[in-house]
Amino acid sequence: MEALRFQVVGEAFKKKPLDVKTPSARPYEYFGKKVFNREKMYKYLPKDVYEKMIDVIDNGARLDRTVADAVAAGMKQWATENGVTHYTHWFQPLTEGTAEKHDSFIEHNGKGGMVEEFTGKLLVQQEPDASSFPSGGIRSTFEARGYSAWDPTSPVFIIEDTLCIPTVFISYSGEALDYKAPLLRALHAVNVAAVDVCHYFDPTVKKVTSNLGWEQEYFLVDEGLYAARPDLLLTGRTLMGHDSAKNQQMDDHYFGAIPERVAAFMRDLEIQALELGVPCKTRHNEVAPNQFELAPIFEETNLAVDHNMMLMSLMKKVARKHGFRVLLHEKPFAGINGSGKHNNWSLSTDNGILLHAPGKTAEQNLRFATFIVETLMGVYKHNGLLKASIMSATNAHRLGANEAPPAIVSSFLGKQVSELLDHIEKADKDFLSMTGKQGLKMDIPEIPELLIDNTDRNRTSPFAFTGNRFEFRAVGSEANCASAMIALNSAVAEALVNFKKRVDAKIPEFEQKLAGTEHSAKFHAIIDVLREDIKTCKPIRFDGNGYSDEWVLEAAKRGLDVEKSCPKIFERYLDQESIDMFESLGVMTKKELEARNEVKWETYTKKIQIEARVLGDLSMNHIIPVATHYQSQLLKNVENMAAIFPVDKAEKLSGRNIKIIEEIAERTSAIEKGVEELVNARKLANKIDDEHDKAIAYHDKVEPKLDEIRYEIDKLELIVDDALWPLPKYRELLFIR
């Protein structure tokens, strides 16, 4: 083990960057090379078919299955010209990853030979085995049928020799078994609701698009070192490991020069991502050593989610080519920053207006205030649900630490926006007797012109306004963004529907009061409802330090969800107000929500269970044998000292070794006891049939034992001979050469 560890570390430090051949063309020339985008559709589809496809993509028109054969023929021609031999329906089951089954184009030609075929039927629909994916009881082994159905709004792409077709995944009885189906429903809901509200300000608006710009943080670790850490290999994080003497305390890694090997990996990754249509924009070192970030240009949310899932798979493949392993776990190393995936979210109209961007006129600022306030209303009403949407066994390690948002959802607005809302709330309500537009001016135009960058930044805020969008910073690095986007877009859609209903009810009232004046009943009704909502959602607004203990107490007083237990946080999906929201918008049914929670609780349990088994194995078969072996060496040394020197001198010379011998005995005993307690706690939890109760038992009784055992092991690491320690240490894992 000694020779292996140092051999692995030595090889890691010798590695040189691969010679990545950069294409001679500029990035914009090969962007989307492997995507069946509009340019390819225009070239390979008949004109009428092309126009129907664009209508589906841009206007949400229903796909006419009669054109499917023509689309399939065009796709196949393009694909075969690019060396493709297979196709797959690419979908996103409830595993947090993606799934694909490859079929070749070949079919019998009836003459003893083969022919390549790809029909509209094969494009539109396939039948994966639904019982083999997490379904929360919706599908069982004897009810295996499920369907994957083409999503034409997300373009088909090529990975190596396979044509990948983005699809939804539903059960035989129609329930969604994936993330894409409810995401598409949520995006439709927010589009309909936002368009209705936009018509107060601009009747020409036909469509509102939800936009997403994710920021993907990740760690890189040398592949050899990764292979020598069974905990990294099996759980994605280090279950033990003492701090390196130097980690991130010098703040010298953030935005620092990118290591040569990493830069080569990044270039290779970007080239392949750009060919797949992922609009990579930003790359840089993050705060922790070996931590980096990649961010694209904003895209429509459904496409952005697909691109993020594609990128995470691509990162893993490209990293191995460069001798790395990508770690997407939110907290792979204790004592340093974890990784998030900030979701920058906004709404925009088909005529190019950002609905969360301030304007220069009274009407523009009233529209801006409306969408800000109703977003806050959705976040306030469903703050517990939004937290549940980003919570996981892995992200729980990151949230609340001093590099991530706390496990309490609040929103930072900044001084200018806060002043705008305060002005609307507190302005004199007795303006109806004023003439002209003066009453409206009391509420909007008196505020100074707002600029795009009108806020400071608050890195402790989970949901911060950043100028023309909101940044949902609590999303975990390995999560599917769709989970957060389903909850957020649904919550905002519900708030907008409710807002319009109340405004419409007030307009007749104001029309009577304002008869014979120049006042607009519509705008007075809007302002009146906004005032109500500004007061209602005020508890969600917090511009202070989200890390402080005082904020936890204050948040509880405000009625915000302060629960920290991951399994209990998942319960928010089954609150009646959550069920009512999802069902009223047509996003998910109660049955689907119950099934998804079963999956969440079961997944949580399994992840903690795996960690417990791995830690038990490493403790008993790696750490304790090495520690006792070193203890035996020290005992032999003490015996030799006693044989050579007088008793008094031998005791003096052996004093340090005796203390270490005693400490090893105490700590190995504590580890053995801890592992025994861990096993027993796991056995008791495993007897629980209900997935919810089992997950809570794993959280309350099993997970705490992991930290107790780790504490003892990390102390042993400091005293056991470095040459004997079996696992690569943090100082070796965290610094790429």
Q: What is the pLDDT of residues 212-231, one digit of tens each?
A: 999 999 999 999 999 999 99
- CA-nearest of 485, 473, 93 to 293 is 473
Using the predicted structure, report yes or no on whether residue 433 has a pLDDT greater than 80. Answer: no
- Taking only the tens place, the pLDDT of each residue in 108-142 is 888 888 888 999 999 998 887 767 887 777 766 56
pLDDT at 405 over 90: no
**pLDDT computed for residue 445 by the predictor:** 39
Q: Tell me the two tokens of residue 696.
A: 């809570």
- Predicted confidence at residue 353, as pLDDT, reads 95
Of the listed ranges 27-36, 136-145, 303-312, 662-671, the one predicted with least confidence:
136-145
Contacts of residue 137, Cβ cutoff 8 Å, sequence gap at least 6? 595, 598
Cα separation, 546 vs 461, in Å, equals 6
DSSP run (H or E) holding 164: strand 162-171
Mean of all residue pLDDT scores within the chain: 89
- Indicate whether 14 pLDDT > 60: yes
Q: Residue 509 pLDDT > 60, yes or no?
A: yes
Nearest to 220 by CA among 341, 142, 366, 321: 321
The confidence score (pLDDT) of residue 2 equals 54
| Residue from 484, 486, 24, 477 nearest 295 by CA | 477
Instruction: Using DSSP, state whether 536 is helix, strand or coil.
Output: helix
- What's the mean pLDDT in 359-381? 92
Contacts 24+ apart (CB under 8 A), 18-23: 18/264, 18/268, 18/321, 18/322, 19/264, 20/264, 20/267, 20/268, 20/271, 22/267, 22/271, 23/271
Tens of pLDDT, residue by residue over 41-64, are 999 999 999 999 999 998 888 888
Query: Is pLDDT at 432 greater than 70 in this prediction?
Result: no
Q: What percent of the chain has pLDDT over 70?
A: 91
Confidence at 539, pLDDT banded by 50, 70, 90: very high
CA 579/CA 57 separation, integer angstroms? 29
| 455: pLDDT strictly greater than 80 | no
Q: Per-residue pLDDT averaged across 148-174, rounded?
A: 93
Give the least confident one: 307-311, 336-340, 662-666: 336-340
Lowest-confidence region among 141-145, 174-178, 289-293: 141-145
Q: Is the confidence at residue 655, as pLDDT, over 90?
A: no
Residue 595 CA to residue 619 CA, distance in Å, equals: 36
**126 has which bridge partners?**
148
More confident residue, 523 or 474: 474
| pLDDT above 90 for 386 | yes
Q: How many CB atoms lie within 10 A of CB 636?
A: 11
pLDDT recorded at residue 519: 59
CA dihedral for 710, 716, 721, 722, sign (positive or negative): positive
Q: What are phi and psi for residue 282, nearest 5 degrees?
A: -125, 140
pLDDT: is 84 or 1 the higher one? 84
Stretch 310-339: mean pLDDT, rounded?
A: 95
Q: Which residues of 151-171 are buried (b: 16+ CB within 10 A; e: fewer)?
A: bbbbbbbbbeebbbbbbbbbb
